[in-house]
Structure 1
Amino acid sequence: MTRISGRIVTPGGVVPGHLDLDGELITAIVPDDGVGDDVIVPGFVDLHCHGGGGHTFTTGDLASAREAAAFHRRHGTTTMLAGLVSSPFELMRSATLGYRELVDEGVLAGIHFEGPYLSEVRCGAQNPAHLRDPSMTEIEELIKIGEGAVRMMTVAPELPGALDAITYLAEHGVLAAIGHTDATYDQTRAGVAAGATVATHLFNGMRPPHHREPGPVVGLLSSTIVCELIADNIHLHPGMLAFAAHSAGPDRAVLITDAMDATGMPDGQYELGGQEVVVAGRVARLAHNGSIAGSTLTMDVALHNAVAAGLPLVDAVAMASTTPARMLGLADRVGALAPGLRADVVVMSAELTLKQVLRAGTPA
């Protein structure tokens, strides 16, 4: 048996004491006031990540995907989706077939296709050469050959055929997300009504709010949808992060990284979806127009930033672990510290800097 001591963050609050592990599972939480200042949180669950440590998910390369997942695991992300960007269908297909192996092994929880069914007006760092209207033929084939590996797809709801695509995704167990969209408020709400349940990086890649046309941000934030938030203090000002998190609540907000391969790497030139990216001072931008191109964030830093922005620790942990685990249908296995769940554990200092990571009871 392994025992980890500190301030244990559970869904019900912070419990000073000992976390007992037996093999791959959590067996008990034993209260005890004399345990020191370490903060113990569940392994993070990242719904939106494109790579890290010099490795990427976006090319469909299995060796690169393994290394990217391992890099983020060392930063506390014990469950994650592999995020692709807008690509030709041939790449989407080959990545789905290849990543099934990693899903079967438990390296990945699935695939997130962020595109190509996105708005050209709000494409951000998505390659406009690959954008297109939703194709039911493509979507149906990806879901079929994925055999459960395709877990999320981002769609702009104003595009022709988008509402039918969203409904089809939802009916087949795939999280339909709204993002990279120039939709009106009404078009956004139509996407929610069609079955969308996630907002892809709220605010970013969206028509900004206006008091006479609220647009997608207000349409999503005021709905029942779960909102992704990039907590790198670059995509969102800390005040906006706190506003959105408080508005949605911890059951409807999730922290994501939107990390690219440059995460954890030196400044320099990188590539994303066939476009050159320049990273300087940890900010990634497209070389040709300066658009923000993903992040260099890890989930341990995202949690730190969320708490620094004023969010209660318990809420921030829910946003980093519990809520995204629920969205993936994995709440009975991961996403919280409770007896019977998998021993995915992150130990942090009192200042919320990373000290130790366990996945299924094994050091990452």
Structure 2
Amino acid sequence: MSAAGSVVGPPVGDLVVRSAVLVDADGRHPDAWVAARDGLVVARGAGGGWREHARGAEVLDAEGALLVAGLVDAHTHGGGGSTHEDGPGAVLAAGAAHREHGTTRRVASLVSDDVDALAERLAEVADLVDDEPGLLGSHLEGPFLAVERKGAHDAGALVDPSPAAVAHLLRVARGTLRHVTLDPRRAGAREAVRAFAAAGVVVAVGHTEASSDDAAAAFADGARLLTHAFNAMPGLHHRAPGPVGAACADERVVLEIVLDGEHVHPAVAAVLLRAAPGRVALVSDSMAAAAGGDGRYRLGGLDVVVEGGRAVLEGTTTLAGSTLTLAGALRTGTAAGLPLPALVDAATAVPARALGLGGRVGTLAPGRAADLVLLDEDLAVRAVRPSARRAVSRPTARGAE
């Protein structure tokens, strides 16, 4: 424990966690232990083998709690009352709120705005990345989106991705633009997909009227992600499979899903986990009310009302992000009967791989950052021990990592 009432402990240095039930994609592993040195996992096993790693290290008895890798959120707009559009302090505050709920690595998502305004925010995030290990960079959810599928984005801010705009955004981000969501049907989108991908930015298809053929063409050009599958796009129809069908058919593509019981029914999430095993990433798509409470908020330039944990644009029924944390997504999924190992994988290793960081975070394997989260059987967060190790602060061109 750190401050009174906080589940977040000091950064991991030399630490052994023992007597845990480790949960990952391969299942539950009882009487498990993990050993870390200087913030990196060096060994793991079961039984009493932890003792040979205990000399000079802190030893934490998990007392049978569930042990998972730190949760990785590739799509979050804020939390704890703070939204990323409100400046560097708000970005850090939102990250701290999510860390209390087990998210040790996150991307700061930004909603659509004027390109110059977005450039300023990208520069602010870039200034934070090197000193904040949990911050993986930024995500532009727009402004290159379809007006017809704008969701909680300001229609007046939506534009085509001109080469000049793409170059400007890449320049000011200084290598910290982690991914970008765009509509592949906008003029100039094909060239933008290729330019972003060549710069090491993960391109996501989203907020679009794209057909399955449109989406497949974007994936062929280098897009590798589908932003919040099923939301703000055509559905999966038996004669028109749409972007979801194209993404499921392409083994290179990861599909985000917001598992809050509002955005996608858990039964549909179960179908997706079976259709694309190991390629579904849980994301929060959270706004400022995550880890907070009901009330009135802003998302970009739009007013949002949160009642009963459900966020909608004021005066409408349009969902405006979520109030979800990734630990909450695990609880929603297990309550619906989804298997915990698959859900943990979708909240850790899968998003890490999708962001190009699978060799650094997202699993408790030797050589990875020792981001450790202990959960009770009801999946309430008992303790969070983040690593101070950075996970490649600057994206590199695809194939270089």
TM-score, normalised via structure 1 length:
0.94
The separation in 2 between residues aligned to 1:210 and 1:84, in whole angstroms, is: 30
Give, in angstroms, the shift of residue 84 of structure 1. 0.2
Structure 1 residue 2 corresponds to structure 2 residue 9: no
The separation in 2 between residues aligned to 1:237 and 1:228, in whole angstroms, is: 14
Structure 1 residue 276 corresponds to structure 2 residue 303: yes
In structure 2, the residue matched to 1:235 is: 263
After superposition, residues 59-70 of structure 1 pair within 5 angstroms as 59=86, 61-70=87-96
Q: How has the CA–CA distance of structure 1 residues 244 and 10 changed in structure 2, closer, same or farther, with 3 Å as cutoff?
A: closer
Aligned residues: CA RMSD: 1.8
Give, in angstroms, the shift of residue 107 of structure 1. 4.1
Runs of 4+ in 1 over 4 A off after TM superposition: 33-36
In structure 1, the residue matched to 2:188 is: 161
The separation in 2 between residues aligned to 1:144 and 1:266, in whole angstroms, is: 37
Provide the secondary structure at the position in 2 that maps to 1:40: strand
Give, in angstroms, the shift of residue 143 of structure 1. 1.0
In structure 2, the residue matched to 1:359 is: 386
After superposition, residues 256-271 of structure 1 pair within 5 angstroms as 256-271=283-298
In structure 2, the residue matched to 1:95 is: 121
Select 2:323's aligned residue among 272, 296, 304.
296
The separation in 2 between residues aligned to 1:236 and 1:84, in whole angstroms, is: 22
The separation in 1 between residues aligned to 2:128 and 2:197, in whole angstroms, is: 23
Structure 1 residue 333 corresponds to structure 2 residue 360: yes
Contact 1:11 1:336 in 2 (8 A): no
The separation in 2 between residues aligned to 1:28 and 1:354, in whole angstroms, is: 24
In structure 1, the residue matched to 2:72 is: 45
Structure 1 residue 210 corresponds to structure 2 residue 225: no
Give, in angstroms, the shift of residue 311 of structure 1. 3.1
Give, in angstroms, the shift of residue 292 of structure 1. 0.3
Select 1:78's aligned residue among 87, 104, 126.
104
Select 1:31's aligned residue among 35, 39, 46.
46
Q: Which moved more, 1:22-31 or 1:273-282?
A: 22-31
Contact 2:62 2:374 in 1 (8 A): no
Structure 1 residue 14 corresponds to structure 2 residue 28: yes
Give, in angstroms, the shift of residue 58 of structure 1. 2.8
User: Percent identical across equivalent pairs?
Assistant: 38
The separation in 1 between residues aligned to 2:105 and 2:250, in whole angstroms, is: 26
The separation in 1 between residues aligned to 2:98 and 2:15, in whole angstroms, is: 23
Q: Which moved more, 1:31-40 or 1:43-52?
A: 31-40
Aligned AA (1:285)? V
The separation in 2 between residues aligned to 1:103 and 1:168, in whole angstroms, is: 23
Aligned AA (1:53)? G
Give a deviation string over 1:140-192, Cα, whole Å, max 9, x none.
11112222111100011111111111111111100010000011221111111
Contact 2:109 2:139 in 1 (8 A): yes
Aligned AA (2:33)? H
**Structure 2 runs not aligned, ≥5 long:** 1-13, 49-60, 390-401
Aligned AA (1:241)? A
Q: Which moved more, 1:50-59 or 1:196-205?
A: 50-59
In structure 1, the residue matched to 2:394 is: none
Give a deviation string over 1:41-63, Cα, whole Å, max 9, x none.
0001111000000011134x001
Give, in angstroms, the shift of residue 35 of structure 1. 7.1
**Structure 1 runs not aligned, ≥5 long:** none
The separation in 2 between residues aligned to 1:215 and 1:325, in whole angstroms, is: 26
Q: Which moved more, 1:307-316 or 1:195-204?
A: 307-316
Aligned AA (1:78)? T
Contact 2:74 2:107 in 1 (8 A): yes
Q: How has the CA–CA distance of structure 1 residues 214 and 350 changed in structure 2, closer, same or farther, with 3 Å as cutoff?
A: same
